[in-house]
Amino acid sequence: MASRPAQAAPASPPVRSQYHHFIPRFILRGFADSIQPPAGPATVRAGGKAKPKRKDAKLNMINLRDGSLFQRPLSREYGLVDMYRDAQYPRQHDIEERLAQLETAVGRILQKAKTTFSKPGSVLTLARAERDTLRRFLFLMKYRNMGFYGRYNHESIDEYSADDKEKMRAYMLEKGFKSPRDVWFANLRAFLDLTMDVEGRWRTELQARAYPDDVELLKLHIDHKYLAFCRPRSTSDEFLMTQNVYSIFEGPMSEIVDVATGKTKRGLWDEWHSFAPITPGLIVVLRSNLLPDGLHGDNNSVRKAAYDALRSVHSDPEKARSILEDLPAERCRNSYSKVQSGRLTLNSDSTGLSAKDESYFKSFPLSSRHVNTINSFLLEEGVSTTALTYRTRTAAAKAVKHYLEDTDNDLKIIYGPQDPRLKYLATLEQALQNLGATAATVSHGRSLPGVEPYLRAYRCSGARIVGTKVCKAISEGCPELMDIYRTLTTDHTAQAFAWEVEQACKLLYIFVETELILSRAKASKERKDRFRTWRDDSIMSSSTQRVWLFLKVLRNLCDLVSGDLTKQVEALELKGPEDSVAEGK
C-alpha cells in the first residue's frame, strides 16, 4: 500500500505591524484637551450586543515646522510603527508587551500620586518596590526615546556614528550581535527584567547583561539623583510636553569645535536636573545629589566641594552653575532614618535597608519663574523635534512668550545666519501669534572660531610633517607593523589608513598646542593637571588604530627628555611598547 504523502507544516501567520508609543498613552491622556469630541458610533458585536466605541482623546499640538496649531488623536502620536519590533526574536513584539506591563504598574503608582496630591498637604507613601519601579521606568523613558532609537537603529556597525563606535564594535564582536539595533533590544530586555535588590547586587549583575556604558547611565540615574514631585503654584501655569522631554536635562555643556569641519559637538556635561512631566499640573524632577536637598543643610561642605569641582573643569565655571539651584524641592523622607541637627541618621531601631522600607513624598509648589524656566529648557531642545503638546492655549502662550523674551538664561544661542535655531525661533513666533499673543524675541549671537587659521597652522605643523613621514615609513617599509595595524581595524583599505593617519596627526597637533598653552598659562598646577587628564582621556578614547598611530608619531615628534615638543627626533623610531599591547603581549 502506497504511503500517504507528507503534509507540509501550516505556515505561521504573518506578524502584523504595531504602533509603538515611546511616551505611554496613560501619560498622554493627562495632556488631552479638556474639550473632546464625542465617541464614535457603537459597533455591533457577535450576538447582537452593541459595544460603545472608545473615545480616542485629542491632543492640542504645535507644528514646529510652520507654527500651525492642530489636534491629533493620542493613539497616533509620540510613537513609531514597529519601533521595538525584534524580527530575530520568537515573539517579535515581546519588548512592547513587556513595556506595557511596566506601564500598567507605573500607571497605578502615578494615579496614586495624582490622587494623593489633589489634596493640599497630603503625603504620598511608596513602598521600596514601588519607588524602584518608578525610577527604573523614568530611566527607560529616556532610554526608549527617539535619541537612543536614532543612535542604535542601524543594520551594521558601519552605519553607527556615536563617538563610542570602536567600543561598540568590540562589544558586538564579543557578544555576537549583528547590528547596533540588536544591542539596543538586548539592553531594553535587561533593563526591563531588572530587579533592584536592597543589597545592590543588580549593579554588578547588570554589567554582564547589557552594554556597560549604558549600564553606567542607569547607575548615574539611580545613584546620583533623587526624585521630587512638583506642581505649578498658579493655575495659569502648565508644563509642556515635547517629543524628547524625557531626554532633556538642565546643566552645563562645554562644546568642542572640530577644527576640520567647524561643527560643534557635545564635550563635557553635567546633569543637574532631568524632567518627567506626568500631567500639565504635575512633574517629576530628578535633582542632582550635589544640589541642596532640604535634609543635609545648604552649608554641607562636602557637597559644595564636589559641586565646585565639577564646575571647575568647564570652560566657564561660573556659568556651569545650576539655573534651578534654588528649586524648592527636597529629598523624600523614609521609614528607616530621620533628620537630626541637619544630619541624616538611621533610626535607633533600624537594622539596615530592607524590602519593607517606605518613602514619603511631598508635592512642592513651584513659582511661575520656575515653571517658565523648566518649560524654556523643553522649548530650547524642541529645535530638533517636529511638534509639542499643550493643554490650554493661555498656558502655552505664556510659556512660549517667556522663552522668546527671556534674557536671564544662556539659551537661544545663534551661531551665524545659517543656524537652524533662527528658523525655529521664527516658527515659535508664528505659533505664538496663532495662540493669540506676540513676543519681542531675544537671542544671543555667538561666533564659532574661524576654522581656516587652525587648518593653515595644522598643515604646516611639525605634527603633520613628522606624522606623514612616520606613517609613510610604516606603510612602505615595515610590513610587520602594517600587520599589527590590520589586527586593530576591519577596514584595510589605503583610504582608511590615510584617514587614520590624518586624524592621529590632528590629535598630536592638539596635544602639542595645548601643552604649549599650558606652559604659558598662569593657572594652578592642579587645574593644569585636571585639563591634561581630560585631554589625554579624550585622546585615548579614540579608535584603537588611531591611538596606536598617535603614539608612534608622538614618540618621533616630541623629545620628551628635553621638553621640546615641536621638533622631530634625530632618527625615526617606528617600533614601541604599543606594538606589544596591540599583540596582546
DSSP three-state, residue 4: coil
> In this predicted model, what pLDDT tens digit does every residue of 16-58 receive, in sequence order?
999 999 999 999 999 998 776 565 555 555 565 656 556 689 9
pLDDT category of residue 449 using cuts at 50, 70 and 90: low
The pLDDT of residue 455: 62
Residue 248, CA distances (Å) to 133, 142, 242 in order: 21, 9, 10
Mean pLDDT of 72-76: 93
The pLDDT of residue 164: 87
> In this predicted model, what pLDDT tens digit does every residue of 132-164 receive, in sequence order?
999 999 999 999 999 999 999 999 999 998 888
| Secondary structure string (H, E, C) spanning 190-252 | HHHHCCCCCCCCHHHHHHCCCCHHHHHHHHHHHHCEEEEEEEECCCCCCCCEECCHHHCEECC
Please give the full DSSP string across 460-491, using - where no structure is assigned.
TSHHHHHHHHHHHHHHHH-HHHHHHHHHT-S-
The pLDDT of residue 561: 46
Mean pLDDT of 509-519: 85
Has residue 435 got a pLDDT over 70?
yes
The pLDDT of residue 1: 45
- CA 325 – CA 298 distance, rounded (Å): 11
The pLDDT of residue 59: 96
Beta strands 79-81 and 333-334 are unpaired
Has residue 2 got a pLDDT over 50?
no
Q: Work out whether the CA dihedral 365, 367, 373, 378 comes out positive or negative.
A: positive
Cell triple for residue 93?
513584539
Which residues on neighbouring strands pair with residue 72, listed in sequence order?
Answer: 59
Closest CA to 241 of 381, 35, 76, 413: 381
